[in-house]
Chain A
Amino acid sequence: QVQLVQSGAEVKKPGASVKVSCKASGYTFTSYDINWVRQATGQGLEWMGWMNVNSGNTGYAQKFQGRVTMTRNTSISTAYMELSSLRSEDTAVYYCARGLHYGVTTYWFDPWGQGTLVTVSS
């Protein structure tokens, strides 16, 4: 079955960087985008950006421009999201999600990874 499995929880100090991995299985990794979405405790979903896994092209939400980097290693079907200059407000669960599209107006996420808790604390 199609599945995304993420790396484990992280605790980081303010100013540090974190790199979260997302391993795909059950489908051709290079045929779909990978997106990253985060959710602070008790809050809603916030889209961070997407990556075309085949080309490596990326698109980031303006809020994260300059702080986020999305990469992939196609040989092991794994995508990565690195967030730098961490601050306490970055404490959240980070999800990867496969992006599917139909035409130019239809784009959705399915499935989602299980989530990775990143805690930023001094």
Chain B
Amino acid sequence: QSVLTQPPSASGTPGQRVTISCSGSSSNIGSNTVNWYQQLPGTAPKLLIYSNNQRPSGVPDRFSGSKSGTSASLAISGLQSEDEADYYCAAWDDSLNGGVVFGGGTKLTVL
């Protein structure tokens, strides 16, 4: 049971826009910024979005992030076949000893 809640799956056709949601609480998303990681099949996770909506250099502007209250979203526009991957949201959690919490991950399928 992950602390952050994501839909287990999402899908879209090439060129479409898809969004993936991430729901948390006041101790994590409500208090801290959200990051998104992309994990291509058989590889290590890679930073996609940090601090809610910042893209590291090299990440296409087709990827965007937003946050409102205790929820966040990742949007992918102009969907491409190479976007098929698992996507994870994460945030620092201020409860107990603190620490990073992840969503359970969303498997994106490009139809």
Interface residues of A (CB under 8 A from B): 35, 37, 44-47, 49-50, 59-62, 95, 97, 100, 102, 105-115
**In the bound complex, how far is the Cα of B98 from the Cα of A119, in angstroms?**
28
Nearest-CB residue, chain A, relative to B44:
A112
Which B residue's beta carbon lies closest to that of A97?
A: B45
Taking chain A's interface residues, is the majority helix, strand, or loop, or is none over half, making it mixed?
strand
Tell me which residues from 58 to 111 in chain B have a Cβ below 8 Å from any Cβ of chain A: 88, 90, 92, 96-105
Residues of B within 8 A of A (CB): 2, 31-33, 35, 37, 44-47, 50-51, 56, 88, 90, 92, 96-105
- Give 11 CB contacts A-B under 8 Å: A37-B100, A45-B102, A45-B105, A46-B102, A61-B97, A62-B96, A105-B32, A106-B33, A108-B47, A108-B90, A109-B35
- When the two chains form the complex, which single residue of A47, A100, A115 contacts B101, counting CB atoms closer than 8 Å? A47
Q: A95-B45, A113-B44 are in contact. Are A106 and B2 (CB under 8 A)?
A: no
Q: Which of A62, A97, A108, A112 interacts with B97 by CB under 8 Å? A: A62
- Closest chain A CB from B57 CB (angstroms): 11
Chain B residues within 8 Å of A97, by CB: 45
* Cα–Cα, bound, A100→B102 (Å): 16
